[in-house]
Structure 1
Amino acid sequence: MADTHTGKFIKVRCADCSNEQIVFKNPAMNVSCNVCGSTLVKSKGGAGELRGELIEVVD
């Protein structure tokens, strides 16, 4: 996820069920959707790999 925003959290929409949730954009572990369990952000040792749709950067 290469963006120039400085916020540490992002709002992501799940590609499978359209649930929106706020997650840490540099996760130490994969982040799953609270509704369906699909992976929203995959841990990559820095900025995570976004698997859902980025809705907004949250400060």
Structure 2
Amino acid sequence: MREIDYKDAARFLKRYISDRGKIEPRRKTGTCAKHQRALSRALKQARFMALLPYTAEHMRSM
């Protein structure tokens, strides 16, 4: 497996986020613990760098 990078937000990391903007759990994504931690870290970095939103679009309009 290639290294997980926060800069892959647009095409790779979005599939590991729920429709509410939360990180999908390990049992749903099917990743091992090591890769789930790396995914989590990359998603949090992407959010911090404003490449991904913290919340879903439909939740912001409420």
Question: Which has a greater percent of strand?
Answer: 1
Task: Tell me the TM-score normalized by structure 2.
Answer: 0.23
Q: Which has the larger radius of gyration?
A: 2
Question: Which has a greater percent of helix?
Answer: 2
Task: Tell me the TM-score normalized by structure 1.
Answer: 0.24
